Amino acid sequence: MLSRNEPQVYARRLRAVLIRSIPLLEARGIVIVVLAGVVGVMAGVLVTAMSQMVQGMHGLLFGVQPGGRLSAMFSLSDPVQAAIPAIGGILLGLSVVWLRKRKFRTPVDPIEANALYGGRMSLTDTFIIAGQTIISSGFGASVGLEAGYTQVGSGLASRLARALRLRRNDVRILVGCGAAGAIAAAFDAPLTGAFYGFELVIGIYSVANVAPVMTAAICASLTAEVFGGVPFPLELAGLPALTASQYLPFLLLGLLGGAASIAIMHLVSLIERGFARLSIDASLRPFIGGILVGLLGLVTPQVLSSGHGALHREFAMNYGIAVVASVFVLKLAASAISLGSGFRGGLFFASLFLGALLGKIFAGVMAVVSPATGIDPAVAAVVGMTSLAVGVVGGPLTMTFLALESTRDLTLTGVVLAASIMAAILVRETFGYSFSTWRFHLRGETIRSAHDVGWMRSLTVGSMMRKDVRTIDASTTLGAFRKEIPLGSAQRVIAVDEGRHYVGVLIVAELHSELSNGETPVRSLAQFKDAVLVPTMNVQSAAETFQRAGAEELAVVEDFADRVVLGLLTESHLMRRYAEELDKARRDLSGEG
């Protein structure tokens, strides 16, 4: 007679046998493309659902009419509505308390997942970020939904890939497909979504990745259209032809956009540190931030939520430079306060809106300083929009395709790409981070892109070191050392004290040619006394230590405090292992392995 648990055991065994026998486990080519299409459809549905949920909240809380946008309102219908962001801050604070009690770790986003964890993402993280983003934007905080969109698309793609036990690189590709589909659905722009996946989430463009990522982006865009997704609100027609003399001013605008993006990222971090210095619990910070954002919303609702309606207004109406500059300052303050106080979201759409405002300000200034250039405000707004967004989000091609797909004007592509590249170069050379990777840096992470460096974390000193290290008491005299360790018997010996604590490295050939008195203790002749490795160091940290010390071989100690010797590692072995793993990672990425 079977016990109660035996049927479940047999079921698990049967499932394991079936999974091992399914060719999908070694899926490549067309199967990955099919899965990418499924991921795109899921992303399109979820992006549309999240957008409609937030729109419904705006209608319920702020009285926004169907089809309208919160940030397109000229004023709040009731001053009491300025308190709504603070109420959202209370709800977000309660969620922080709830997560803290359950000891949830910091959620992993698609870029971090692909860089460090082979695309592994938690569904719990996904739903937490999506829910907090909906609350933040739905209650009027000046944040975009794009971070929530990409988290949902990539999170479900990761879960699907892992359920089918796909290879590490296939999981990473599908995570990129999820993000690409999310952005494509959000902006009705398949090329933009695809290159978002390439540049920001997969980390590289390759021929092997084109079909699945494009499939996901197209399927997501079509799905969003079927379910009533709202396209990107950029409707331009009759733009003047560009002249050669206008390229130089637009390149200057690209540099200004890059500089502004750096300033914005620093401002967000500064405000975040300011809130951290307040002697209040982190769960109360969104409430305070919500109060400040609500007060700014009383001045103009254009600063509230992501800013779709406000961007549409800026392109549809011709405001004076003073009005545009004031909206720029207010939106910048609202976004920085929202993110700095702990609201969940991103700067994707805020950077587009702020960039468009910056472009209009630039056109207004140029009309006074050099009217002969004939800079059109609408064209300047598009160039400024993409330039500033490249600095914040990253991805010059992503933003160039966004301008192309939203304006349908091919003549703009060249100047937009040139200005975007100028912004990207300035940010990379002077700052080195996009907004996402900058926030990783503030948390202590070293990643700067979605390139797969997770294998570097597992390639540790402990896994590469030699344990058969030869040691000698540091108090041994030079004469005794020469007798005990003849020339040619070893290249290097580690000098230790009585407790096997590290003292330094002794180079045998040098000690045999040393002219000092034979009674000199070898302790005084030891090298690299302050340069040691520990087993938990990854290959990158170890290589930096070798470079700083100028050593070819270093001791591995248990920890930096006691420095008990465990082994030895040579620089040549470390670099050889690094090259082997790097070559393997490249083969996996190109689909050769």
Predicted TM-score (pTM) above 0.85:
no
Q: Where are the beta strands (DSSP E) in 255-307?
A: none
Q: What are phi and psi of 261, to 5 degrees?
A: -65, -40
- Domains of the chain with bracketed CATH: 27-227 (1.10.3080.10), 244-442 (1.10.3080.10), 457-582 (3.10.580.10)
- Helix, coil or strand: residue 4: coil
Tell me the two tokens of residue 121. Answer: 């993402």
Give the count of beta carbons closer than 10 Å to the beta carbon of residue 66.
7
Tell me the two tokens of residue 559. Answer: 């920890």
493: which strand partners?
Answer: 506
Residue 158 CA to its chain's centroid (Å) = 16
- Helix, coil or strand: residue 163: helix
Q: What are phi and psi of 76, to 5 degrees?
A: -70, 140
pLDDT for 19 = 45
Cα separations (Å) of 131 from 46, 152, 210? 12, 10, 31
Burial 416-452 (b: 16+ CB within 10 A, else e): bbbbbbbbbebbeeebebbbbbbbbeeeeeebbbbeb
Contact yes or no for 449/115 (Cβ under 8 A): yes
Tell me the two tokens of residue 524. Answer: 């005084």
- Please report, as a single letter, which amino acid is at residue 64: V
- Helix, coil or strand: residue 592: coil
Residue 226 CA to its chain's centroid (Å) = 30
Tell me the C-alpha distance between 443 and 106, whole Å: 10
pLDDT for 137 = 95
**pLDDT in tens for each of the 593 residues of the chain?**
445 455 555 545 544 544 444 444 444 678 899 999 999 999 999 999 999 999 999 999 999 988 889 998 999 989 999 999 999 999 999 998 888 887 777 788 888 887 777 888 988 889 999 999 999 999 999 999 999 999 999 999 999 998 988 888 889 899 999 999 999 999 999 999 999 999 888 887 777 789 999 999 999 999 999 988 766 656 666 677 777 788 899 999 999 999 999 999 999 989 998 998 888 888 899 999 999 999 999 999 999 998 888 988 888 788 889 999 999 999 999 999 999 999 998 889 999 999 999 999 999 999 999 888 888 888 999 999 999 999 999 888 999 999 888 887 787 888 999 999 999 999 988 888 777 776 666 655 555 555 555 555 667 888 888 888 888 998 898 888 888 888 888 888 999 988 788 999 898 888 888 877 788 888 888 888 888 898 888 777 788 888 888 888 889 998 887 788 888 888 888 888 777 766 666 555 554 44
Tell me the two tokens of residue 222. Answer: 């079509």
**Mind giving me the DSSP string for 327-390?**
HHHHHHHHHHHHHHHT---BSHHHHHHHHHHHHHHHHHHHHHH-GGG---HHHHHHHHHHHHHH
- Per the listing, tokens 């975040």 go with 272
- Per the listing, tokens 């490549």 go with 28
pLDDT for 279 = 81
Tell me the two tokens of residue 260. Answer: 């502004």
Proportion of the chain in helix, strand, coil states, percent, rounded to 5? 65, 5, 25
Number of H helices and E strands in the chain, helices first, is: 24, 5
466: which strand partners?
Answer: 568
Which uninterrupted H or E stretch holds 406? helix 396-407
Tell me the two tokens of residue 100. Answer: 């803290």
pLDDT for 592 = 44
Q: Which residues contact 523 (CB under 8 A, 6 or more apart)?
A: 474, 475, 495, 503, 504
pLDDT for 588 = 56
Q: Is the dihedral of CA 350, 356, 361, 366 positive or negative?
A: positive
pLDDT for 191 = 93
pLDDT for 375 = 87
Tell me the C-alpha distance between 457 and 464, whole Å: 13
Which uninterrupted H or E stretch holds 467? none
Tell me the C-alpha distance between 176 and 98, whole Å: 30
- Per the listing, tokens 């470390």 go with 574
Tell me the two tokens of residue 586. Answer: 């490249």
> What is the separation, in whole angstroms, between the first and last Cα of the chain?
48
pLDDT for 182 = 96
Nearest CA to 183 out of 203, 206, 199, 164 is that of 199
Q: Which residues contact 589 (CB under 8 A, 6 or more apart)?
A: 169, 204, 206, 452
Tell me the C-alpha distance between 500 and 519, whole Å: 22
Give the count of beta carbons closer than 10 Å to the beta carbon of residue 365.
14
